[in-house]
């Protein structure tokens, strides 16, 4: 084995060695950077270590190998840029379990070690705002031996925050003061009332039954489908989904699905997507299945959660409020393969239409997004 000298501060190389070649003897040194023979670039060191260990850590296909190298390069950022990297990862992981393909690669380990300092300093109440990132962090830290790299587990909290409306009681003196203020300022224009605080609930999502009448490959992205979906409106919606690796194109046509219809339209490689198809990913990340509405459903049927039948969805979700990101960790499948949302007390609220429950073919305990 080549000589490996690891700098005390090099958590990246430590984590890669701990996961892929745990039996290797590490020579620790108080130096600025690690060294493998004459190589001092960390990215080159971990690439050589992972490839030499005989694992598929660097990607099975040429395209996956290029993606792994891309993430190794893009995660080399200054400390003051980690916040920007965290948001980029959160957006990217919204439709993915791992960074490359559907299994753990070197890209996940290296990125985890590099975002670790940011994640440990972020207050727990702020984690739901980066729920996709922290879901991934929790997955990586529980499938690798991070403690062998000198890293502690990060406590992860993805529960939706409870927002309680304020109810202040006024006494008679306060009422009199208010009356005087009203008389004194009667000539002034009245100020608009402050908006009531938003209470996070799954009824904020505009969920509908959709029918995919057409599906084709995205002309500029190998991993994306471009779908034409009927949702009970005058015109069908164009929807982009990253499902190429999971579902054959012939199974993506002539089927009923569940859509989130009030997301802000997103430009995906030159084509705008006007909704999102809900899919459930198994805990190990190996299986992805579409959420299916009950038999007898038709395009445009309202989809809702039991206990929130009377809730009114937002016309369009404000990206700044992170509504879907906050609610998403509660979206999952139960042991009966029924889609549901679990509240802060982990109480299940089943997803349904008037015709029945929304389900998946086989995955239980799956994350829905």
pLDDT averaged per 10 residues in sequence order, the chain, 369 residues? 65 83 68 52 82 74 87 90 91 86 86 92 84 90 81 78 50 55 54 63 96 95 94 95 93 95 92 96 91 94 94 91 92 96 91 95 94
Q: What is the pTM of this model?
A: 0.51
pLDDT of residue 146: 82
pLDDT of residue 360: 95
Q: Following DSSP, what letter does each residue of 182-248 receive, concatenated?
A: HHHTTTSPPPPPPPPPPPP-GGGS-EEEEEEEEEEE-TT-TT-EEEEEE-SSSSPEEEEE--TTTS-
Domains of the chain, start order: 1-149 (1.20.1050.10), 202-368 (2.40.50.140)
pLDDT of residue 354: 93
- The Cβ of residue 336 has, within 10 Å, a number of other Cβ atoms equal to 10
Please give the structure tokens belonging to residue 50: 């992972």
Q: Where are the beta strands (DSSP E) in the chain?
A: 4-7, 27-29, 35-36, 207-217, 225-230, 237-241, 255-260, 266-268, 271-273, 276-277, 279-281, 288-290, 302-305, 331-333, 339-342, 348-353, 356-357, 367-368
Contact between residue 17 and residue 6 where contact means Cβ atoms under 8 Å apart: yes
pLDDT of residue 54: 64
| Nearest CA among 154, 151, 152 for reference residue 135 | 154
Alpha-carbon distance 45 to 319, whole Å?
Answer: 39
Q: Which residues pair with 212 in a beta bridge?
A: 229, 255
pLDDT of residue 239: 97
pLDDT of residue 194: 53
Please give the structure tokens belonging to residue 6: 């690891």
Cα angle 170, 173, 176; round to 5:
100
Q: Look-up: residue for tokens 């190389």?
A: 13
| Nearest CA among 106, 131, 134 for reference residue 119 | 134
Kindly provide the b/e burial profile for residues 24-44, where b requires at least 16 CB atoms within 10 angstroms of the residue's own CB. Answer: eeeeeeeeebbbbeebeebbe
């Amino acid at each position: 084995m080549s000589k490996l000298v690891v700098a005390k501060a090099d958590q990246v190389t430590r984590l890669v060695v701990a996961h892929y070649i745990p039996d290797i003897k590490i020579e620790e040194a108080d130096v600025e950077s690690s060294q493998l023979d004459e190589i001092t670039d960390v990215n080159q060191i971990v690439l050589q270590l992972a490839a030499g260990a005989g694992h598929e850590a660097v990607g099975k296909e040429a395209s996956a190998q290029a993606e792994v190298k891309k993430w190794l390069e893009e995660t080399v950022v200054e400390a003051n840029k980690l916040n920007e990297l965290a948001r980029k990862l959160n957006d990217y992981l919204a439709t993915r379990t791992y960074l490359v393909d559907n299994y753990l690669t070197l890209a996940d380990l290296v990125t985890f070690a590099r975002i670790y300092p940011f994640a440990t300093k972020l207050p727990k109440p702020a984690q739901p705002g980066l729920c996709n990132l922290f879901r991934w962090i929790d997955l990586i830290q529980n499938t690798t031996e991070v403690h062998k790299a000198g890293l502690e587990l990060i406590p992860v909290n993805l529960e939706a925050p409870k927002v309680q409306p304020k109810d202040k009681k006024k006494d008679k003196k306060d009422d009199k003061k208010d009356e005087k203020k009203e008389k004194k300022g009667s000539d002034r224009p009245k100020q608009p009332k402050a908006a009531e605080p938003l209470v996070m609930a799954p009824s904020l999502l505009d969920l509908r039954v959709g029918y995919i009448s057409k599906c084709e490959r995205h002309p500029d992205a190998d991993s994306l489908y471009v779908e034409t979906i009927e949702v009970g409106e005058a015109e069908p919606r164009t929807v982009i989904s990253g499902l190429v690796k999971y579902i054959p194109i012939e199974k993506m046509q002539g089927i009923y699905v569940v859509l989130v219809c009030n997301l802000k339209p997103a430009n995906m490689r030159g084509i705008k997507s006007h909704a999102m198809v809900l899919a459930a990913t198994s805990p190990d990340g190996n299986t992805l299945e579409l959420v299916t509405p009950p038999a007898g459903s038709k395009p445009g049927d309202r989809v809702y959660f039991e206990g929130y039948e009377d809730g009114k969805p937002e016309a369009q979700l404000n990206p700044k409020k992170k509504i879907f990101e906050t609610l998403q960790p509660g979206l999952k499948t139960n042991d009966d393969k029924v889609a549901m949302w679990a509240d802060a007390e982990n109480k299940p609220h089943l997803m349904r239409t008037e015709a029945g429950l929304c389900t998946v073919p086989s995955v239980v305990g799956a994350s829905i997004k």
